[in-house]
Amino acid sequence: MPTYRLSSLIGRTLVLFSSCFVLQAADNTAQELKPLLLKPGKTIVSNSFDKDSKTIQEWAKYGTQWQVVNGVLVGSPSSLEYQKAHPGKLSGANPRMQVRVPICKQGFIVKFDFKSDKNVEHASFWLGHHRFKLVIKDNQPSLQYFKDKKQVITRALKPINGPMEDNQWYTIIMETHGTHRTVQISGFEPLTVQAYPLTKISPVRISGSHGKRLQLDNFEFIEGAGLR
């Protein structure tokens, strides 16, 4: 075999091996995330979306469509007819869902995996009526929280290996206890802040990018069992 062909073959093999290693490393990073603030207690809501159910359908908001496809919960915008009949923020143009959860005096942990087919222009994951909110804008995640009753603070999460990528799974963990907030997303450094206490816990709300699909898996809402 000519030398130049052998070198080319070796090069392609190394590139392929490196690509597989990077993908595997990314998957492992997503799987290794664990709560940092709280000790996990009782699991209150848990769903790996193996099959559709009435409960899952009740999570849908504003006419958006949610269905289990190949073991993954897929959210799509509402129909054009629905959007015309409900103009404005509640039109369902953004796939949106909410999961009802109880008040947990010892804090709570929310954990799930998500993926967007394309660039995440704007997605939100929040509790406490916007008082504890992870916002992803143009593939950059940031935490929004209330410093006091009126002042809202926004802090970007620092990437470990670069920005988010399209069509890739990411794990999110959000924890709260008193005035403590911790948020993690695979591929980024965790962020812990001091914030205004939540007066009550509203449902977990999730909203995807305008007009695009959002995929979710392995959703868990866990009661806290004390600080670590």
How far apart (Å, rounded) are the C-alpha atoms in residues 189 and 162?
11
Q: 5 exposed, middle or buried (CB, 10 Å; 0-12, 13-18, 19+)?
A: exposed
Q: State yes or no: pLDDT of 9 exceeds 60.
A: no
Q: 75 exposed, middle or buried (CB, 10 Å; 0-12, 13-18, 19+)?
A: buried
- The structural domains of the chain, ordered by start, are 33-227 (2.60.120.560)
Share of the chain above pLDDT 70, in %: 86
Tokens of 220: 């868990």
Question: CB-side exposure of 107: number of CA atoms within 13 Å?
Answer: 23
Rounded to an integer, the average pLDDT of 57-78 is: 94
Backbone angles phi, psi at 125, to 5 degrees: -135, 115
Residue-level pLDDT at 31: 52
pLDDT in tens, 138-149: 889 999 999 888
How far apart (Å, rounded) are the C-alpha atoms in residues 211 and 113?
20
Q: How confident is the model at residue 176 (pLDDT cuts 50, 70, 90)?
A: very high
Q: State yes or no: pLDDT of 23 exceeds 80.
A: no
214-227/204-207 β-pairing: unpaired
Residue-level pLDDT at 76: 93
Backbone angles phi, psi at 92, to 5 degrees: 80, 15
Tokens of 199: 């007066």
Rounded to an integer, the average pLDDT of 191-217 is: 88
How far apart (Å, rounded) are the C-alpha atoms in residues 21 and 64?
37
Share of the chain above pLDDT 90, in %: 59
Is the alpha carbon torsion for 133, 224, 102, 44 positive or negative? Answer: positive
Q: How confident is the model at residue 90 (pLDDT cuts 50, 70, 90)?
A: confident
Residue-level pLDDT at 197: 85
CB 228, CB 38: distance < 8 Å: yes
Least confident of 19-33, 113-127, 173-187: 19-33
CB 178, CB 114: distance < 8 Å: no
